[in-house]
Amino acid sequence: MARIRTVKPEFWSDGDMLKLSRDARLFYIGLWNFCDDNGVLEYDLTSMKARIFPNDRISVDKLLKELVDIGKALIYEVEKRQYIFIKNLANHQVIDRPRKSHLPLPDGNQLKSIEITLGRKEGKEGKEGPRGQLSDEDFIKTLKTKAVYRGIDIDRELGKMDTWLLANPGRQKTRLFIVRWLNKIDRPVNIPKPEIKIDHPKPINEEDRKRVAALIHETAEKLKSKT
């Protein structure tokens, strides 16, 4: 199934792209539309020609060779079937909702769509992936340190996401999905309570008590004399 892809402005002046002919550059972009989200498509020159250059007299095998020669594409075989692998597709595309594919990768393994996160897959053994991307574990740890998510039980929210995704099998738990989920949560506002100081009256000593008693007595006598 064809996919909508984007072209970054820096693509046109990239050093590797300048090594390609004009038609090879266009062919390269065309392959993005027809490869899966892992960068794989079946090796079928007739189909590629019909899809990308339907009304042009162009030899796509020569264009493909240009891509292979500079390391942008790889032709490989799995179980006697040939495929084309577009290397570093993630450098050109941000894949938010990757689709599962039955096409094998060059090593013969199928990449699970949930491993493709924001356009790049996780590195081996939890290490950083391409361009220094954090592993899933480190990504969650980083979220927990963000002040904007203070007050949110992220582990609990991840469990709620899993439950929601079970009921919505068409969605994937990408990092963008996680961030958007967390951003929708109403967080408690931590307003510091004002410190209220209560001044308790000091105990009256004996001398003050006598002075007050005398004042009360004097006032009472004055009131009697007036009556």
Per CATH, which fold does 1-111 belong to?
A: Arc Repressor Mutant, subunit A (1.10.10)
- Between CA 46 and CA 43 the distance in angstroms is 9
Q: What pLDDT tens digit does each residue of the chain (227 aa) get?
A: 567 787 888 888 888 889 999 999 999 999 988 888 888 889 998 999 999 999 999 999 999 999 999 988 999 988 888 999 988 776 666 665 667 778 888 864 444 333 333 333 434 434 444 444 567 888 888 888 887 778 888 888 888 888 888 888 777 888 888 888 888 876 554 545 566 666 666 777 788 788 888 888 888 888 877 76
Residues β-bridged to residue 75: 84
State the residue for tokens 């992936």: 129
Provide the token pair at 47.
Answer: 């189909």
Q: What's the rounded Cα separation, in Å, for the pair 168 and 170?
A: 6
Q: pTM score > 0.75 for this model?
A: no
Alpha carbon distances (Å) from 34 to 6, 27, 158, 169: 13, 11, 34, 24
R_g over Cα of the chain: 36
Q: Where are the domains of the chain?
A: 1-111, 122-189
Distance CA 102, CA 154 (A): 33
Q: Write out the H or E segment, with its range, that includes residue 176.
A: helix 175-183
